[in-house]
């Protein structure tokens, strides 16, 4: 077994046995309270929201560093969705085998070894936190539109940073909403699951209402030119909107809290992506048909579209409900970062203090730390910079999961699988190539920030995680008692 390996090079690739993952003996326990429909709601909640209400308009309109995609934003979403679907099938196979907290981190640890698992886990800590921040920035745009609709002008200094708003200092609404959803998640998974189910239901109704009403105001002349800046802009747009089509990734981090993870997780992953892609196609067609892409607001697209056709009251209603519906995206990804952090701590790669849970089975410490970090990002960074930082990490995770499912199918072909990925290895190979291609579309500054974060991670792993890992027979953590539950 790899736990007996003593050399440093061998220890980097020691793999966590599946049977050990299945019967976790160390650390804190999470409570099982999520059924199929709650899991699907978490997935849809993570996928649908910022993509429709903010990124569709942002990518269609463009900006100083990114030419507008125009009505071709539909193709950007389809390309991103196709790449995401290949990865989703890989996630579904893993989720049916290893229904534990951690998602891509756990999958990489089981199939490819500890150092790969560490890199992906460390990567996801940043990316999920950044997603919460970028979604909060999107909410802020709709909040400002809503307040304007009821006759209240939000001061420029609190609308955003100077990069995005003239006279801006801090994005106060985004910062506050990050802390609010942190509080909701801190109340426990059962409460969160109920809130998510209701909020996602309202979100789907809102989107169908928007699409149905907006259809009557579509002007087909707005579809010309369909690709004003060519396919290069479409691919860049696909890289930017990518994180809007993978909420199932964060949902899979809650597998350990599912009542029947092996059975329900694969179904929830595929269901949530299918529902989301249908809604994205309909919404982008209506948005770019209602208003010329040059005039679409990059922060509150649908609100500006209904304003343009003389329906300011509808625009105000949309702004109000968009804030509520986008909250579900933030909740899904904040759940994701806390469960990855919890898993890494429980495995010994990060201090055990982080894996402490309260009497409701909620890891309060990491919940509030992650929530505070996302609030800081949301308050001081522009939306595109945070969105691109998010995407490069998630695309890297998709590459690892797609490779890992191929490797594990070869190493353990007879291991029980609730769901088996079809067309092996072609579908995961396509996931690797498409995700890698989209990574190359991102700006060099995004790559620089990503590399710096990974360098910080390898330093922490080398001096702490490698020595304290529970797969290291000499780990100091093996002599420690499990963390006691915190007071609620």
Q: Residue 3 carries which DSSP code?
A: G
Q: What confidence category does residue 252 fall into, taking pLDDT thresholds of 50, 70 and 90? A: confident
Among 372, 340, 342, residue whose Cα is nearest residue 355: 342
Q: Which helix (DSSP H) or strand (DSSP E) does residue 292 occupy? A: none
Burial string for 203-242 (b: 16+ CB within 10 Å, else e) reads: bbebbeebbebbeebbeeebbeeeebbeeebbbbbbbbbb
* Least confident among 20-24, 224-228, 291-295: 20-24
Among 157-161, 216-220, 373-377, the range of highest mean pLDDT: 216-220
Check if the beta carbon of residue 280 is closer than 8 Å to that of residue 212: no
- Confidence check: pLDDT of 409 > 70: yes
The pLDDT value recorded for residue 28 is: 47
DSSP secondary structure, 376-397, as one string: HHHHHS-HHHHHHHHHHHHHHH
CA 229 to chain centre: 28
The pLDDT value recorded for residue 20 is: 61
Q: Which helix (DSSP H) or strand (DSSP E) does residue 165 occupy? A: none
The pLDDT value recorded for residue 250 is: 67
Phi-psi region of 237 (alpha: psi -120 to 50; beta: other; left: phi over 0): alpha
pTM: 0.75
173 vs 134: CA distance, rounded Å: 12
191 vs 287: CA distance, rounded Å: 34
**Average of pLDDT values for 227-254?**
79
- Confidence check: pLDDT of 398 > 90: no
CB-side exposure of 227: number of CA atoms within 13 Å? 11
Check if the beta carbon of residue 178 is closer than 8 Å to that of residue 374: yes
**Average of pLDDT values for 204-215?**
88
Phi, psi of 63 (to 5 degrees): -175, -175
- CB atoms under 10 Å from CB of 311, counted, come to 17
Q: Which helix (DSSP H) or strand (DSSP E) does residue 187 occupy? A: none
- Confidence check: pLDDT of 408 > 80: yes
The pLDDT value recorded for residue 34 is: 75
Q: What confidence category does residue 215 fall into, taking pLDDT thresholds of 50, 70 and 90? A: very high
* Least confident among 162-166, 289-293, 468-472: 162-166
Q: What confidence category does residue 384 fall into, taking pLDDT thresholds of 50, 70 and 90? A: low
306 vs 210: CA distance, rounded Å: 9
Check if the beta carbon of residue 54 is closer than 8 Å to that of residue 141: yes
The pLDDT value recorded for residue 463 is: 92
Interval 236-248: pLDDT, tens: 888 878 767 776 7
**Average of pLDDT values for 192-198?**
74
- 183 CB-near residues (< 8 Å, 6+ apart): none
By residue count, the chain amounts to 488
Mean pLDDT of the chain: 81
Partnered with residue 159 across adjacent β-strands are: 171
Among 281, 486, 482, 254, residue whose Cα is nearest residue 364: 486
Q: Which helix (DSSP H) or strand (DSSP E) does residue 329 occupy? A: helix 312-346
Interval 95-106: pLDDT, tens: 777 767 667 888
- CB atoms under 10 Å from CB of 359, counted, come to 11
The pLDDT value recorded for residue 226 is: 92
Task: Give, in order, the Cα–Cα distances in Å from 275 to each of 43, 212, 270.
Answer: 10, 17, 9
Q: How large a percentage of the chain has pLDDT more than 70?
A: 86
DSSP secondary structure, 261-327, as one string: HHHHHHHHHHHHHHHHHHHHHHHHHHHHHHS-GGGS-SSSHHHHHHHHTT-HHHHHHHHHHHHHHHH
- Confidence check: pLDDT of 457 > 80: yes
Q: What confidence category does residue 191 fall into, taking pLDDT thresholds of 50, 70 and 90? A: confident
254 vs 271: CA distance, rounded Å: 16
Interval 63-92: pLDDT, tens: 666 788 999 999 999 988 888 888 888 888
Task: Give, in order, the Cα–Cα distances in Å from 455 to each of 14, 309, 324.
Answer: 21, 50, 37
The pLDDT value recorded for residue 487 is: 54
The pLDDT value recorded for residue 221 is: 94
Among 338, 426, 315, 385, residue whose Cα is nearest residue 101: 338
The pLDDT value recorded for residue 286 is: 93
- Confidence check: pLDDT of 1 > 60: no
């Amino acid at each position: 077994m790899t736990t007996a390996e003593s050399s440093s090079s061998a220890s980097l690739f020691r793999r966590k046995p599946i049977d050990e993952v299945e019967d976790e003996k160390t650390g804190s326990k999470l409570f099982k309270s999520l059924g199929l429909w709650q899991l699907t709601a978490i997935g849809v909640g993570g996928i649908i929201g910022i993509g429709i209400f903010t990124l569709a308009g942002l990518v269609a309109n463009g900006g100083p560093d990114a030419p507008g995609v125009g009505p071709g934003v539909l193709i950007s979403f389809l390309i991103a969705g196709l790449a995401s679907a290949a990865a989703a099938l890989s996630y579904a196979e893993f989720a049916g085998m290893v229904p534990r907290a951690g998602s891509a981190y756990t999958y990489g640890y089981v199939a490819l070894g500890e150092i790969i698992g560490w890199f992906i886990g460390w990567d996801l800590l940043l990316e999920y936190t950044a997603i919460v921040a970028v979604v909060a920035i999107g909410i802020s745009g709709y909040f400002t539109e809503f307040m304007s609709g009821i006759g209240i002008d939000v001061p420029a200094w609190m609308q955003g940073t100077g990069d995005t708003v003239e006279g801006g200092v801090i994005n106060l609404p985004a910062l506050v909403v990050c802390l609010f959803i942190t509080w909701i998640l801190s109340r426990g998974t059962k409460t969160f699951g109920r809130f998510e189910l209701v909020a996602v239901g309202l979100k789907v109704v809102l989107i169908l209402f928007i699409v149905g009403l907006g259809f009557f105001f579509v002007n087909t002349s707005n579809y010309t030119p369909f690709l004003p800046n060519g396919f290069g802009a479409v691919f860049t747009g696909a890289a930017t909107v990518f994180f809007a089509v993978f909420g199932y990734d964060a949902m899979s981090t809650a597998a350990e809290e599912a009542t029947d993870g092996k059975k329900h997780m694969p179904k929830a992953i595929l269901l949530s992506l299918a529902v989301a892609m249908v809604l994205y196609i309909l919404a982008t067609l209506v948005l770019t048909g209602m208003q010329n892409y040059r005039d679409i607001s990059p922060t509150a697209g649908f609100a500006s579209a209904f304003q343009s056709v003389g329906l300011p009251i509808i625009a105000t209603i949309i702004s109000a409900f968009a804030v509520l519906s986008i909250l579900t995206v933030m909740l899904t990804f904040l759940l994701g970062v806390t469960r990855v952090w919890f898993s890494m701590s429980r495995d010994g790669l990060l201090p055990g203090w982080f894996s402490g849970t309260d009497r409701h089975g909620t890891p309060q410490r990491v919940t509030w730390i992650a929530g505070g970090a996302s609030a800081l990002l949301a308050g001081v960074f522009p939306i595109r910079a945070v969105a691109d930082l998010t995407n490069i990490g998630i695309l890297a995770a998709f590459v690892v999961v797609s490779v890992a499912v191929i490797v594990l199918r070869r190493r353990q072909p007879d291991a029980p699988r609730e769901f088996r990925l079809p067309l092996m290895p072609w579908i995961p190979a396509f996931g690797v190539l498409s995700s890698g291609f989209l990574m190359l579309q991102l700006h060099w500054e995004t790559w620089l920030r990503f590399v710096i974060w990974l360098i910080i991670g390898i330093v922490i792993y080398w001096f702490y995680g490698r020595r304290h890992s529970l797969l290291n027979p000499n780990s100091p953590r093996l002599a420690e008692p499990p963390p006691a539950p915190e007071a609620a």
